[in-house]
Amino acid sequence: MNTLKPFDPVEDLFRGFFVRPVAFGQDDQVTTMRVDVREGAEGYEVHAEMPGIRKEDIHVHVEGPLVSISAERRQDKEEREGDRVIRSERHFGRIARSFQLDADLDAEHTVARFADGVLTLKLPRKEVRPKQSIAIE
């Protein structure tokens, strides 16, 4: 069974006397999507951090009070020292986030913009029409 030990800087320092230490990213650096949701008079505004994602790879689905955001992600990162690769990270995969708001949303009038790695959604509330009494003839 292969288990990873947590990063210990002291142990890494002592090991560094014998071999060159290379610190790789921690597990919390795996693909994540952080989301802020603000409520206003007209509806909601959502900001989702999606660094390294292309606009063409983002999908937003709104149904009733449910909002779903997903994207395919490909990230390549390589550090070189001369001609020798000392670190290479490649991450492929799908990120997704779903959440439910307090009101039904008007999907037809939802506005989505993507700039500088941040997806902004303006989600207006669906107009609720009051119940009407029907006159009986």
Model confidence at 12: pLDDT above 90: no
Amino acid residing at 21: P
CATH of the domain at 113: 2.60.40.790
Is this structure's pTM higher than 0.85?
A: no
Question: Could you tell me if residue 57 is inside a domain?
Answer: yes
**Is pLDDT at 131 greater than 80 in this prediction?**
no
Q: With respect to residue 103, please indicate whether it lies within any of the assigned structural domains.
A: yes
Per the domain annotation, does 60 fall within a domain? yes
Evaluate whether residue 133 is within a structural domain: no
Range of the domain at 106: 34-69+97-124
What pLDDT was estimated at residue 128?
73
Q: Is 80 exposed, middle or buried (0-12, 13-18, 19+ CB in 10 A)?
A: exposed
pLDDT band at 129 (very low <50, low <70, confident <90, very high): confident
**Residue 119: its pLDDT value, please?**
97
Q: Which residues of 26-48 are buried (b: 16+ CB within 10 A; e: fewer)?
A: eeeeebebebeeeeeeebbebeb
Which of these ranges, 38-52, 74-88, 119-133, has the smallest mean pLDDT?
74-88
The domain tally of the chain equals 1
